[in-house]
Structure 1
Amino acid sequence: MKELMLKKIKSLDLKIAVIGLGYVGLPLAVEKAKAGFRTIGFDILQDRVDMVNQGINYIGDVVEEDLKQLVENKMLTATNDFTCIKDVDFVAICVPTPLNSHQEPDISYVVNSAKSIAKYLRPETIVVLESTTYPGTTEEVLKPILEEGSDLICGTDFYLGFSPERVDPGNLIYKTKNTPKVVGAVGEDAAEVIATVYKTVLESDVHIVSSPAVGEMEKVLENIYRNVNIAVVNELAMLCEKMNIDIWEVIDAAKTKPYGFQAFYPGPGVGGHCIPLDPYYLSWKAKEYNFHTTLIEASMTINHKMPEYCVERMSKILNKFKKPLADSKILLLGVAYKGDISDYRESPALKVIEELEKHGSIVNYFDPYVESINLNSVEHKSVQELSVELLQCQDLVVITTAHSNIDYNFVQENSKFIFDTKNAMKHVLNRKNVERM
């Protein structure tokens, strides 16, 4: 089987399916199609399917002209019909892996995808999970579903592996095409074949590890590393505020050391599809081994309380003007989880809004990238523009996302007071009415 698959890859005869056309799946499908592989994208959302088939892009990291050309040349199509699996040689699963209401892993999208794939899985097919998950998912969950549902044997009739997505929305340097890839598979032959596919598609190194579990653990390590270090600076920021020390100046000084230090920055919390979720995936799995991830859980606690801490700081600021949180007009600048993107998944700004509304504040937001948000089944819309009148009538302006296309000098000149949680106003000369995290 290995030689046949390698021959198909070399001749670009491999037909590919990408399950899930979101922030991970669509860029991956586009790159596979650009490499010369006929690619089918699958998504349960009809509007995504329709947009792809019309060549309309909805993901920031995809170039719309590339998408249009691939669709016109019939190199990329989209569908919500799982029977397409019977006609492909390679299946990449790129579905969400959120947390449930109890902060436990919800891999139902992976499970449901696997069950659907199994119905149409044929011999000499490669299945790769790209969704972030806990160590053991590929072999303990995916493999039995695929084998039982297809009557095929993993390693003999089909190949199975894990290759974690590495997507950083808005990154101007590293995209899907040039970000190094990790591959772990069930068996050496599977690892070689899967790695060859990615080497053909990408302009980056492909690192093979000994098993899917190593790849799964590697992925959560990447984001737990960031979560823990962000928690350290968040805790120091809270201490520095009490000690009247500028945490931003401290970090700038520390990062002059050319070795042994990497700069991380405080903020109103952590957001996105990985950093707030991955620690929960690992801590949940660790309990199966009667092991408690003490440091990781402590970092989760610190980062989780940052929105509440920010609201406490806002309350102190308003108290200086003899204003309570209740009925105060507060404008948030930015609800995306990071600067210059439209993604607001798990954004700490949402938790800040919730906390302020609990205290009776009148909250609005401005975000040039996010027209509206759905918060607890209630739609909130961004104000249309940052006018002088809007800023002057606010009791407090809070910077929760550091977008680069906002005129912070204009904000400073026309606001009563500003609480900057992201150090976005570091280049503003007059900061008399600004308090930083």
Structure 2
Amino acid sequence: MSIEWPAHGLKLQARIEGGTAKIGVIGMGYVGLPLAVAFCEANCPVLAVDLDDAKIDALKSGQSYIKHIDGARIAPQVEAKRLDATSDLDRLGEADVLLICVPTPLSRHLEPDLKYVEATTAAIAKTLRRGQLVILESTTYPGTTREVMQPILEAGGLIAGKDFFLAYSPEREDPGNPTYSTTQIPKVVGADDKVSADLALALYKHVVPQTIAVSSAATAEAVKITENVFRAVNIALVNELKLIFTAMDIDVWEVIDAAKTKPFGFMPFYPGPGLGGHCIPIDPFYLTWKAREFNQHTKFIELAGQINADMPQHVIRVMSDTLDARFGRGLRGSRILVLGVAYKKNVDDIRESPSLRLMEMIEARGATADFHDPHVAQINGTREHPTLNYRHGVAWDPAEIAKYDAVLIATDHDAVDYAALVEAAPLVIDTRNACGKAGIVSEKVVRA
């Protein structure tokens, strides 16, 4: 059965396929900025939107504020007038397509906090016109696009799938990944009507190698949740195995590296001090919350979340016990240097980083906690860790490192000289096996 396209839908399709549709990207963070740059590099005009004037000023000057996004990619787009940056939400009506890339955090009660999605959708609704395509990319629970966004957008009288078009396509960014950048990752697209789906698929074909259509927006939302639940559960498994194998005097990293030589049926995940980043620590709770509406219980997912949440306590316990055994003192009164506050190696992203929780826990035990991170000079304002806000990192200086009672490796950045670290520090607590991977064997190193 053929679908009759509205005239403004056909017009938008022609603009998208011809590369002349103006693409508004709302939220210039770790998802929105690389997406905006990718469309610019595909010769599409882009309106970059963010309420943070500092980000907008940087973009207008052709500069990047995210370490792994080279400013050399931004400046030519500004000079060619393909990238236009603004904090004025009244300009949203100028765009033919609007991509929403805003945060979706958790509340204090571990429930979805959609205030940024709702506020952005309300801002779009004020200037919404016939023929616009709106796509949510932020990770959320199945049903958000239809149940939360659509009513807000339709409140002015325009109808989704008829007057304007609405879809969901989950972001799949992996900051700092040298193999898979924005333009090398397939894109899943879901919508509740065929016209919206086809328009979204046509859009992303400009920048990604493959587009995968699913049957609805809710299905696409479920795809993203599933990806991150899979990772959270498997990380919890290896974190639990670490505790078990350590008690048996077995090296869990050696076990995993040997197991991954099997060419089928095994995928390596590695333990750590806890979960970080915007996705894995948060997304499973979105599904847990939504599942209750259907009287379903996510026991397995919640157990994994608890295991991962408990890992910082394990690290603190190992560090305290080791300080007591080696030097006759626990954490109280000790000076600890936390190496790495980014949530993963080789990036400057501190969102949900377990390092921040570890620093607070260290100080709650009566110790002082400084940090060094080659990619993060200062901990900027965070809602969850106000006592650490605007704290500056310390410089890399072996003579100064020697004055700390212990160094806690929380993030295994490649830029760190681990041999020099172990030589200088009286004790190293290694949560990432960074020293082992560097081939360093020393009684100073204790893995946690």
TM-score (norm 1): 0.97
* Corresponding position of 1:85: 92
Between stretches 326-335 and 31-40, larger displacement belongs to 31-40
Kindly tell me the number of residue pairs found equivalent between the two proteins. 434
Equivalence map 1:262-273=2 (5 Å): 262-273=267-278
**1:433 to 2:439 alignment:** no
Most deviating of 409-418 and 175-184: 409-418
Report the residue type matching 1:429 in the other structure.
Answer: I
| Offset from partner CA, 1:399-434 (integer Å, 9 cap, x none) | 100000111111111221111100101123332211
Alignment equivalent of 1:311, drawn from 306, 312, 316: 316
1:334, 1:366 within 8 Å by CA — same for their partners in 2? yes
Find the residue that maps to 2:21 and give its secondary structure.
coil
The whole-number CA distance in structure 2 between the counterparts of 1:159 and 1:283 is 29
| Deviation at residue 339 of structure 1 after TM alignment | 0.6
- Aligned residue runs from structure 1 range 6-405, under 5 A: 6-148=13-155, 150-202=156-208, 204-321=209-326, 322-373=328-379, 374=381, 375-378=385-388, 379-385=390-396, 387-405=397-415
One-letter amino acid of the counterpart of residue 188, structure 1: K
Query: Using the alignment, how far apart are the partners of 1:394 and 1:360 within structure 2?
Result: 15
Conserved 8 A contact 1:180-1:206: yes
**Take 2:17 and 2:425, find their aligned partners in 1: how far apart are those partners?**
61
Q: Distance in 2 between matches of 1:20 and 1:413?
A: 44
RMSD value over aligned CA atoms? 1.2
CA distance in 2, matches of 1:392, 1:98: 39
- Return the offset for 1:166: 0.6
Cα displacement (A) at 1:94: 0.5
Question: How far off is 1:363 after superposition?
Answer: 1.3
- d(CA) in 1 for partners of 2:232, 2:425: 33
1:273 maps to a residue whose letter is H
The separation in 2 between residues aligned to 1:158 and 1:112, in whole angstroms, is: 19
SS of residue paired to 2:213: strand
Structure 1 runs (4+) deviating above 4 angstroms are none
* Runs of 5+ unmatched residues, structure 2: 1-5
Aligned residue for 1:77, secondary structure, equals strand
The one-letter code sitting in structure 1 at the alignment partner of 2:113 is: D
Deviation, structure 1 residue 62: 2.5
Q: Secondary structure at the match of 2:133?
A: strand
Please list every run of 5 or more consecutive structure 1 residues that lacks an aligned counterpart in the other structure: none
Q: Distance in 2 between matches of 1:397 and 1:432?
A: 14
Q: Tell me if the contact between 2:241 and 2:252 (Cα under 8 Å) persists in the aligned partners.
A: yes
Q: Name the SS of the counterpart of 2:182 in structure 1.
A: coil
Per the TM alignment, residue 66 of structure 1 is displaced from its structure 2 partner at its CA by: 2.1
SS in 2 for 1:186: coil
SS of alignment partner, residue 265 of structure 2: coil
Q: Secondary structure at the match of 1:435?
A: strand
3-state SS in 2 of match to 1:301? helix
* Percent identity between the two aligned chains: 44
Q: Is the 1:19–1:41 Cα contact (8 Å) retained in structure 2? A: yes
Report the residue type matching 2:345 in the other structure.
G
Query: What is the rounded CA distance, in whole Å, between the counterparts of 1:17 and 1:388 in structure 2?
Result: 48
Task: Give the conservation status (yes or no) of the 8 Å contact 1:161–1:186.
Answer: yes
Alpha-carbon distance between aligned partners in 1 of 2:284 and 2:95, rounded to the nearest angstrom: 35
SS at match of 1:17: strand
C-alpha distance in 2 between matches for 1:332 and 1:118? 46
Q: Is the 8 A contact 2:192 2:216 kept in 1?
A: yes
CA distance in 2, matches of 1:429, 1:269: 24
TM-score, normalised to structure 2's length?
Answer: 0.95
